[in-house]
Amino acid sequence: MWKTILRRLLIIIPEIIALSILVFLLAKAMPGDPFTGSINPHASLAHIHHLMRINGLYDPWYQQYWNWVVHLFHGNLGMSYEYQEPVTRIVGERAINTLWLAVFATVMTYAIGLPVGLYAGRHQNSRSDHAIRIYTYVTLSVPFFVVLVLGLWIFGYMLGWFPTTGSINTNAAPGMGSVISRIQHIVLPGLLQAFFSLTGIVQYLRSEVIDATHSDYVRTARSKGVPVRDVFRHHIFRNSLLPITATAGYAITGLLGGSVFTETIFSYPGMGLLFVSAINYRDYTVITALVLLFGFLNMLGTLLSDIIMAAVDPRIRIE
Amino acid sequence: MSLIEVKDLEVHYPIRSGFWNRVTDEVLAVDGISLDIEAGETYGLVGESGSGKSTTGKSIVGLEKPTKGQILYKGKDITKPRNRHELDYNQDVQMIFQDSLSSLNPRKRIEDIIAEPLRNFAHLSKDDEKLRVLQLLDIVGLDADALYKYPHQFSGGQRQRIGVARAVATNPKLIVADEPVSALDLSVQAQVLNFMKKIQRDFGVSYLFISHDLGVVRHMCDNIAIMHRGRIVEIGTRDDIYNHPMHIYTKRLLSAIPETSVEHREEAREHREAVEKEFQENQDRYYDKDGKVLPLIAVTDTHKVAMPQDEVDELQREDD
Amino acid sequence: MADEENHFLKIEDVSTAFKIQGKYYPAVSDVSLDIHNDEIVAIVGESGCGKSTLATTIMGLHDPAETKIGGKIEFEGQDLLTLNEDQMNKIRGAKIGMIFQDPLSALNPLKRIGDQIQEGLDYHTKMTEAEKKARVLELVNQVGIPHPERVIRQFPHELSGGMRQRVVIAIAIACKPDLMIADEPTTALDVTIQAQILDLLKDIQKENHAGIILITHDLGVVAETADEVAVMYAGQVVEKGSAKQIFDNPLHPYTRSLLRSMPQKDSENDDLYVIEGSVPSLQKMPQDGCKFAPRIPWVPASEHEAHPTMHEVEPGHRVRCTCYKNFKFQDEA
């Protein structure tokens, strides 16, 4: 098993190289340049050409790519054109913000989604099951950003229960004060995000439970004289939760990806927002760094999911 | 010349392992079998699960790539794709599957399912095509109103007949039927088997009839090969196999068929247990030290068995 | 045959109807059967005849919201149909064990073999953990699985089909039930394995003095194993009697048709007999009269009873309807 994991990790290396070249070329292929918008509008074309040249943007692409790779290995992802700060620092700050929000949202998603999904499957066609189904249909048919905007308007502006922008109050006292402020900032977007993403879990789990209820091994258990309550506990729930645990691998890597919608609407300075603005401003260094990071996390997530699956399901072996 | 000659066919599946995921071992699904199928006959291929009988069938249709050996049709080796194309082999050899529900596309109407091989090979006009499909439905005893229905609207037996109609569409020379009636009820099985026989009488098609059911095989097949562990343990005519079985594995299979006579059930069980005991205890007489089936030895012109020569001689003396 | 007092499962006029789009349709109607100790009763019929439904009705495994069950199932002095869920749970697994068709799907893929066999003991006995473990090993041994110590720690997918079916049998006999219901126990298995499993079932039955209800579509299996046979068609028992009576002197047109459609020795040059028409679906089943009448259209209506009942032809041998009396196949003059 360890051999396989090591092999899978090694395979990630060429994948990352291929991905980085692709990302690098795509970033280069985008029209526009990083300077026109950010310097004195009266600057001459010649001056912009000069800036492009000294920043190496006229070198052949492989030259630029090579420079970038060399820097990468020194832990230097370059300077952000937009913020004039090292990319690593910007990404690091945003990653922490996103992590706060995402951990909260994910925990809420599973904490609510698992019991609700199990309940809906167990009490199929009950009144609560119908209510849950209506809820899942609504969340599937209403666009996410509409819900976010509505939530922001109702709970943020009208009721004023939660802050509406940012990730922390700059005037918050250090220590506990800043932690409390951070939490205040993530509750509303986190809950809204959770309420949206738990739909998938609820629906999936519900149908898994219903399938398992009609399976032959459940009939076997019942014909042993196991009471229905225990059949659910020992057979159905356990077997139904299994496929969900495998998605945990992806969920963990998704934590750092950030949500473009949530972060944009709540002006929450996280990875999603950073990514959108980097694209808008042609902040190449940031774009390449982010895409590379997301790509790496994705590959890691797939591996992680496979490992979890092999750990919990005896039928699957990593060999 | 036989319609199809299978020569020393082998199909291996690689087992990969280790850090570099290299092939470290092989499963010998089919481990060197030879058989000749004559035009217009039904050839039975019998064995238990894992014996390699389905893999052999798939290789003959071209769904499985043999590792070694040849399959000769009109004197050419059709394991090479170029020869298959040249001889219209894919048109001449068709297949019927065990599970009629999963082998028919659920989103296609019966008309399109049956017409599919026609469209691939025959290129008829729209009217001619429809006429031919109706004719095919009639051959398997289904009405014209079946045309516009979908597979799930039929019973298992009707679906299997649709599978037969599709296989017959291109006037094939050989139909490989892999457990065609195993999933069917007795009375429905009888109907499908009757249609298969009728089609053979009317069109002279050959069948390779793959089955584990020795009762059905006896009813259907002229020549029979018994497979075990990827090889043939015994091969011969129906009479050779059912009335003069020689290999212990053949005897074991035959003794396991339930008979519909209530009186002799205790004797049947005793006989079965005696055969089973001999099978367990005398492995080394019938299999080599690696558990492989021995090479075939001719007993008569039609009958071959995988046993040492001296054993064969002894059994023959007993027989006389 | 065994005397009337000795039977320990008495099924009387049992009907099971399923709700389909708001209406109830009977899958089993008016079935009466007696099962005795030390006896194998085969229920034989083709798919959709109601034989499996009857089994699950005895076990009480139907969803009461979707099914309507009538009649009486007397088992060791009580009517199973009047028991509540808790009372039924004391009988399932303890007094009645069930064996299912497909041993792979009948076992929980994520639980170890030993735990699945032990589960019944957990609910029905007061054994200590050590005693249960010993009993599980004993059971695995009894059903003829080699290396019991290793097998109890394995998962279902690690065993062959035949071994899995032995596990399913071990589960069913864990608490030495008086009655075993085996629903197509060998259909998913190879012939040689089938013979071994049937022999095993017979041996266990002799050892435990249990009664077995063997549900199957395979007439060969019935002839090899059954003492008593009930032939079912369209939810009803159409003929019952000893195995010898049924196979040596089949009377009902359906029984005779089934036997005739089997491939026989020396039948290779003939067509097999095919029963006309097909089994109607639940919703289209004729509610009254002889249900087999549409499959033998050449028999005049006067031969059938208006409300077919079982007629005792010889001691223990009963046939439904009167159409058997002058029945001839079409090709018989």
List subunits contacting chain C, requiring 3 or more Cβ pairs under 8 Å. A, B
Nearest-CA distance B24 → chain A (Å)? 13
Residue C313's pLDDT band (cuts 50, 70, 90): very high
Q: How far is CA C77 from the centre of its chain?
A: 22
- Cα–Cα distances in Å, from B189 out to B186, B216, C178, C197? 5, 9, 36, 25
Count CB pairs under 8 A between chains B and C. Answer: 108
pLDDT value of residue C60: 92
Q: Is the pLDDT of residue B294 over 80?
A: yes
Is there a domain that residue C229 lies in?
A: yes
Contact present, C234 and C25 (Cβ < 8 Å): no
Claim to verify: residue B228 and residue B317 sit in the same structural domain: no
Domain span at C150: 106-176
Write down the residue that tokens 């999963």 correspond to. Answer: B102
Minimal CA–CA distance to C125: which of C175, C88, C180, C179?
C175
Same domain, C201 and C87: yes
Chains linked to B by 3 or more Cβ pairs within 8 Å = A, C
Same domain (yes/no): C29, C72: yes
- Give the pLDDT of residue C2: 41
* pLDDT single digits (tens) B186-220: 888 898 899 999 999 999 999 999 998 888 999 99
Name the DSSP letter for residue B258.
P
pLDDT at B93: 94
Which whole-number Å values give the CA distances from A20 to A30, A66, A72, A285, in the listed order? 16, 11, 11, 12
Q: Quick one: pLDDT at residue C241?
A: 96
pLDDT at C7: 65
Q: Are residues B193 and B256 in the same domain?
A: no
Do the domain assignments include residue C38?
yes
Rounded mean pLDDT of chain C? 90
Residue B73 and residue B186 share a domain? yes
Same domain, C114 and C71: no
Residues in A closer than 8 angstroms to B19, CB to CB, are 3, 6-7
Domain membership of residue A99 (yes or no) is yes
Would you say residue C332 lies in a domain?
Answer: no
Judgement on whether residues C256 and C131 belong to the same structural domain of the protein: no
pLDDT above 50 for C3: no
Average pLDDT over residues A294-314: 84
Query: Would you call A6 and B19 a contact, using CB atoms and an 8 Å cutoff?
Result: yes
Contacts A222 to C, Cβ<8 Å: 59, 61, 92
Smallest Cβ–Cβ distance between C123 and the set A225, A313, A315 belongs to A225
- pLDDT tier at B174, thresholds 50, 70, 90: very high
Neighbours of A127 (CB within 10 A): 8
Interface touch B19/A3, C-beta < 8 Å: yes
B59 token code pair: 């290789």
Residue B148 domain boundaries? 4-243
Residue C5 pLDDT > 70: no
C213 shares its domain with C263? yes
- Is the pLDDT reported for residue C172 higher than 80? yes
Q: How far is A127 from chain C (nearest CA, A)?
A: 15
CA–centroid distance for B55 within its chain: 10
Domain total of chain C: 2
0.95 surpassed by complex ipTM: no
For A229, other C-beta atoms within 10 Å of its C-beta total: 9
> Which other chains touch chain A, taking contact as 3+ CB pairs less than 8 Å apart?
B, C
Q: State whether residue B17 sits within 8 Å of chain A by CB.
A: yes
Residues C224, B194: C-beta atoms closer than 8 Å: no
pLDDT tens-digit profile of C214-233? 999 999 999 999 999 999 99
Question: What is d(CA C36, CA C33) in angstroms, rounded to the nearest whole number?
Answer: 10
The answer to whether residue C68 scores a pLDDT higher than 60 is yes
DSSP labels, A208-271: HHHHHHTSHHHHHHHHTT--HHHHIIIIIHHHHHHHHHHHHHHHHHHHHH--HHHHHHTT--SH
> What is the C-alpha separation between A119 and C33, in angstroms, rounded?
41
A266 in a domain, yes or no?
Answer: yes
Of C120, C141, C176, the domain-final residue = C176
pLDDT digits (tens, 9 = 90+) for B23-42: 778 888 999 999 999 999 99
> Touching check for A224 and chain C: CB below 8 Å?
yes
CA distance B171 to chain C (A): 23
| Res C102: pLDDT | 86
Q: Is the pLDDT of residue C319 over 50?
A: yes
B57 pLDDT above the threshold of 50:
yes
HSE-up of B76 (CA within 13 Å, CB side)? 12
Query: Measured between CB atoms, which of A216, A221, A238 is closest to C102?
Result: A216
**Contact at CB, C89 and A225, closer than 8 angstroms:** yes
Q: Is the pLDDT at A35 greater than 70, yes or no?
A: no
Please answer yes or no on whether B19 and A319 come within 8 Å at the CB atom: no
Is A216 near chain C, with CB under 8 Å? yes
**Chain B residues whose beta carbon lies within 8 Å of the beta carbon of residue A6:** 19
- Is residue A56 one of the residues assigned to a domain? no
Q: Do residues C210 and C159 share a domain?
A: no
Nearest CB partner across the interface for A223, out of C61, C102, C109: C61
Same domain, C313 and C194: yes
The arithmetic mean of pLDDT across residues B252-274, rounded, is: 88
Instruction: Count the domains in chain A.
Output: 1
Give the minimum alpha-carbon distance from C47 to chain B in angstroms, rounded to a whole number: 7
**Domain presence at residue A52:** no
CA distance B98 to chain A (A): 23
Same domain? For B152 and B251 the reply is no
For residues B97 and B238, state if they share a domain.
Answer: yes
CB contact under 8 A, A220 and C155: no
- The answer on B319 and B270 residing in a single domain is yes
- Chain A touched by B19 (CB under 8 Å): yes
One domain, residues C114 and C217:
no
**Same domain as C214, residue C127:** no
Q: CB–CB of B190 and C248 under 8 A?
A: no
- Residue C191 shares a structural domain with residue C134: no
C31 falls within a domain = yes
Q: Give B17 to chain A, closest Cα distance, Å.
A: 7
Q: In 3-state terms, what secondary structure has residue B26?
A: strand
% helix, strand, coil for chain A, step of 5? 75, 0, 25
Last residue of a domain, one of B243, B276, B309: B243
**Sheet containing strand C236-242, strands side by side:** C96-99, C179-183, C211-216, C40-44, C228-233, C236-242, C317-320, C310-314
Name chain B contacts of C234, Cβ cutoff 8 Å. none
Note whether B234 and B85 are same-domain residues.
yes
Interval A203-236: pLDDT, tens: 889 999 999 998 999 999 999 999 999 999 999 9
Residue A316 lies in a domain: no
- Residue A319, pLDDT > 60, answer no
Greatest Cα pair distance, chain B, in angstroms, is: 65
Picking from B193, B213, B243, the residue at the C-terminal end of a domain is: B243
| Residue ranges of chain C whose CB lies within 8 Å of a chain B CB | 46-47, 161, 190-196, 199, 217-221, 223-225, 243-244, 247-248, 257-259, 261-265, 267-268, 271-275, 278
Partners of residue C85 in chain A, C-beta under 8 Å: 227-228
Closest residue in A to C89 (Cα–Cα)? A225
- CB-based burial, C274-299: b 16+ in 10 Å, e otherwise: bbeebbeebeebeeeebbbbebbeeb
Average pLDDT over residues C154-159: 92
Q: What sign has the CA pseudo-torsion B73, B74, B76, B82?
A: negative
Query: Tens digit of pLDDT for each residue in A243-263?
Result: 888 777 777 676 666 678 888
Residue of C nearest to B198 (CA): C271
Which residues are within 8 A (CB) of A86 and not within 5 positions of it... i.e. 6 or more apart? A76, A77, A78, A79, A80
Select the residue of B157, B190, B252 nearest C192 (Cβ to Cβ): B252
Are residues B89 and B37 part of one domain?
yes
What mean pLDDT do residues A115-127 have? 90
How is residue B201 written in tokens?
A: 């009488």
| Residues in chain A closer than 8 A to B21 (CB atoms) | 7
Are residues B22 and B105 located together in one domain of the fold?
Answer: yes
Q: Is B21 on the interface with A (CB under 8 A)?
A: yes
Among A27-41, B150-164, B245-259, C61-75, which stretch is predicted with the lowest mean pLDDT?
A: A27-41
**Residue A40 — very low, low, confident or very high, per pLDDT cuts 50/70/90?**
low
Give yes or no for a contact between B124 and B114, defined as CB atoms under 8 angstroms apart.
Answer: no
Run of H or E residues at C12: strand C9-20
Is there a single domain that holds both residue C37 and residue C69?
yes
Contacts of C262 in chain B (CB under 8 A): 186, 190, 215, 260
Of C110, C123, C171, the CB nearest to A239: C110
- Domain membership of residue A135 (yes or no) is yes
CA A218, CA B140: separation in Å to the nearest integer?
A: 41
**Are C151 and C145 within 8 A, CB to CB?**
yes
pLDDT score for A33:
63
Q: How many domains does chain B have?
A: 2
Backbone angles phi, psi at B93, to 5 degrees: -125, 120
Nearest residue of chain A to residue B19 (CA atoms): A3
Tell whether the model's pLDDT for residue A164 goes beyond 80: no
Tokens of A57: 């943007």
Domain boundary among B243, B270, B285: B243
Residues B117, B250 within the same domain: no
Determine the distance in angstroms separating the CA of C172 from the nearest CA of chain B, rounded to an integer.
Answer: 24
Supply the pLDDT for residue B108: 92
Pairing of strands C228-233, C40-44: parallel
Chain C residue with Cα closest to B190:
C272
In a domain, C101, yes or no: no
- Give the one of C123, C155, C174 whose C-beta lies nearest to A226's C-beta: C123
Exposed / middle / buried, residue A80 (Cβ in 10 Å: 0-12, 13-18, 19+): buried
Q: How far is CA C301 from CA C235, C256, C287, C293, in A?
A: 21, 19, 16, 8
- Quick check: A7 and B19 CB within 8 A? yes
pLDDT at C265: 79
Q: Does B18 touch chain A (CB under 8 A)?
A: yes
- pLDDT category of residue C1 using cuts at 50, 70 and 90: very low
**Which carries the bigger pLDDT value, residue C23 or residue C270?**
C23
For residues A188-200, give the mean pLDDT.
Answer: 84
Q: Which residues of C touch A313 (CB under 8 A)?
A: 110
CB–CB contact C108 A225 (8 Å) = no
Q: C112 and C258 share a domain?
A: no
C172 domain residue, yes or no:
yes
Q: Residue C89 and residue A217: Cβ atoms within 8 Å?
A: no
A224, A234, A315: residue with CB nearest C93: A224
Question: Span B136-149, mean pLDDT?
Answer: 88
Do the chains contact at C261 and B268, CB–CB below 8 Å? no
Mean pLDDT, residues A62-77? 78
- What is the 8-class DSSP label of residue C30? E
CATH number, residue B36: 3.40.50.300
Nearest CA in chain C to B271: C195
**Domain carrying residue A258:** 88-281
Select from C107, C168, C113 the least CA-distant residue to C137. Answer: C113
Contact B187 C199 (CB under 8 A): no
How many Å apart are CA C42 and CA C213, to the nearest integer?
6
CA distance A46 to A40: 13
Q: Which two tokens stand for residue A308?
A: 């979890």
User: Taking CB atoms and an 8 Å cut-off, how many pairs form between chains A and B?
Assistant: 7
In contact, B250 and B316? CB cutoff 8 Å: no
With CA atoms as reference, the chain A residue closest to C168 would be: A220
